[in-house]
Amino acid sequence: MAKKIVTKKEHTILLLLYIFRFLNSKQIQEFLIHKDHRRINSWLKDLEEKEYIVREYTPIYGVLTKPAVCYLTTKGRKHIKESYNYYFPPYLKRISRDHKVSKAFKTRCQIIADWYITRIPPTKAGISIVDTLIKHCITAIEEKMPLNTVQFFTPSYFPTFKLLKHIKPDAYIRKKAREGIAPGFLFVVDPYVSRLVIRYTIKRIFTTLNEEYWEDDVIAFHMYFLCPNNQVIIYLRRMLPTQLEQEYASGTPLHFHLATRNQLYNYKQGKIETIKWITISSEDEDDE
């Protein structure tokens, strides 16, 4: 039986699904900077018929469907393993259970992709966002980071930094400027997570930054929390100043940035001009 041919664009789609695990068709269209959604759907349909991906549709009352949510099948993961030299066996094993994960987890993966798209949008020069992702997420891991570049990692490509293993962010971003490197950590807070879990996450961040060695040229740490609602933001705004004062002992500035998922969604839809992050910093002066 002849091997089914996967086109270059379909290769790229499979790689995106490996990196983010779950993407909807509109996000894939954004990554590929393609104007025709019908062409995107044609590639996705072809990959589904070749059994490389699964497309899930969620009917909604009053609406035909949401955009299809896609993820890799066994054959799709095998393609990644055979076609690329930067896959990680433990990660491939982990995503083999993606057909069993919760709806909340699928949503989280799509939020991570949206956050990436808003942080590193396609350039006016027409450089593909996928090319940028692959260049800075994969090939630059072991290279010296050049000035004015951004590296982005999901758990599929986390570099071997101890901090990431302990802090356990949903995504990690590094920005290199002349002054130094400013690492950013993304946390997507689930709607029904308890305050105890949130407090434990914050404590784990403080403990890790206090105890673990980090790069000498780090100028500040940035923690981005995308919250399900304003109640979680209010809780963090009340809790963080005291926690920063009592538990954060590192001399490197630490900044927490808080926003809701809704803000990210509305920004992507063009309903608001900017995401109004609320920032709480270790450098904030005491009001008293």
Query: 10 Å Cβ neighbour count for 147?
Result: 7
Single-letter residue type at 262: N
180-188 and 221-227 strand pairing? parallel
33 phi-psi bin (left φ>0, alpha ψ -120 to 50, beta other): left
Q: How many CB atoms lie within 10 A of CB 31?
A: 24
Q: Which residues pair with 250 in a beta bridge?
A: none
With a cut of 70, list the residues of the chain below it in pLDDT: 1-3, 59-65, 84-90, 121-146, 156-162, 212, 215-216, 285-288
Which pLDDT belongs to residue 288?
40
| 11-21 pLDDT tens trace | 889 989 988 99
Q: What is the pLDDT of residues 173-183, one digit of tens each?
A: 888 778 888 88
Domain-wise residue ranges, the chain: 161-288
Cα separation, 153 vs 20, in Å, equals 10
Kindly list the distances between the CA atom of residue 230 and the CA atoms of 2, 115, 235, in Å, as whole numbers in the listed order.
Answer: 55, 19, 9
- Cα dihedral sign for 107, 108, 113, 115? positive
> Other CB atoms closer than 10 Å to residue 140's CB: what's the count?
17
- Give the contacts of 144 (CB within 8 A, at least 6 positions apart): none
**pLDDT at res. 149:** 72
Burial (CB < 10 A; 0-12, 13-18, 19+), residue 50, is middle
Structure confidence at residue 179 (pLDDT): 85
Residue 60 has a pLDDT of 47
**How much is the pLDDT for 57?**
82
Q: What is the pLDDT of residue 222?
A: 95
**What pTM was estimated for this model as a whole?**
0.85
Quote the tokens at residue 247. 């538990």
